[in-house]
Chain A
Amino acid sequence: EAGVAQSPRYKIIEKRQSVAFWCNPISGHATLYWYQQILGQGPKLLIQFQNNGVVDDSQLPKDRFSAERLKGVDSTLKIQPAKLEDSAVYLCASRVGVNSPLHFGNGTRLTVT
């Protein structure tokens, strides 16, 4: 079974620039999550999709972050404009259902200078 694919692996941008991350979950996984992980901390949920609908985006800074999963498969997360404090690893995860394990991609490491 192919894992969760994320790209790019690394991205360096200047503050106020825009950036987009892409995630392709494991085939058949209806639930998709985007997490932000700051160095030394556990992952923090940004947004959760069930198929192509948003289940929870309460912790997404909507003034600068947006995410979509138009066809209920792959997803993109965008930051516009970026701030220094957005420097983190952005992780995508997916699962089949509530009682199944969560699978993570390798993440995108973002550095904002």
Chain B
Amino acid sequence: KQEVTQIPAALSVPEGENLVLNCSFTDSAIYNLQWFRQDPGKGLTSLLLIQSSQREQTSGRLNASLDKSSGRSTLYIAASQPGDSATYLCAVLNAGNMLTFGGGTRLMVKP
């Protein structure tokens, strides 16, 4: 059974810092990994999708990497802004269309 862990559970940084969020998974036989953002009281917004054959994906100030063999992904946020404050979740898709979420990292960027 796939288990997905996100560390840290919460993070507070001053505006302008570069930061890294971590996601680890136990079963490396994945189809893809997706990073989401969730604002309070809202659904999840897709940020980046990395296929199992890819090593990274970039969108604006966001860069997600995938190391399938070690069961790890990182989400790098450059030059953080207060508007980046949200909960960030990673989800891993395995065979049989099984999608497993991590518990999320709650990010606070202080002005």
Contact of B99 among A33, A50, A100 (CB under 8 A): A33
Is A105 close to B, CB under 8 A? yes
Q: How far is the CA of A109 from the CA of B99 in the complex (A)?
A: 22
Is A91's CB under 8 angstroms from B98's CB?
no
Is A104 close to B, CB under 8 A? yes
> A42-B103, A98-B93, A99-B51 in contact; A104/B98 too (CB < 8 A)?
no
Q: How far is the CA of A101 from the CA of B91 in the complex (A)?
A: 11
> A101-B34, A105-B43, A106-B42 in contact; A31/B101 too (CB < 8 A)?
no
Is A101's CB under 8 angstroms from B46's CB?
yes
User: A3-53: which residues lie under 8 A (CB-CB) from chain B?
Assistant: 4, 6, 31, 33, 40-45, 48, 50
Is B96 close to A, CB under 8 A? yes
CB neighbours (8 Å) of B99 from chain A are: 33, 45, 102
Is B32's CB under 8 angstroms from A56's CB?
no
Is A99's CB under 8 angstroms from B43's CB?
no
Is B98's CB under 8 angstroms from A98's CB?
no
In this complex, how many residues of chain A approach chain B with their Cβ under 8 Å: the count is 27
Is A103 close to B, CB under 8 A? yes
Q: How far is the CB of A9 from chain B (nearest CB, A)?
A: 9
> A101-B34, A107-B43 in contact; A31/B49 too (CB < 8 A)?
no
CB neighbours (8 Å) of A42 from chain B are: 4, 6, 89, 91, 101-104
Is A98's CB under 8 angstroms from B49's CB?
no
Interface residues of A (CB under 8 A from B): 4, 6, 31, 33, 40-45, 48, 50, 55-56, 91, 93, 98-107, 109
Interface residues of B (CB under 8 A from A): 4, 6, 31-32, 34, 36, 41-46, 49, 51, 89, 91, 93, 96-104
Sampled A-B contacts (14; CB under 8 Å)? A33-B99, A40-B103, A41-B104, A42-B6, A42-B102, A42-B103, A43-B101, A44-B101, A55-B97, A102-B46, A102-B91, A104-B44, A107-B43, A109-B41
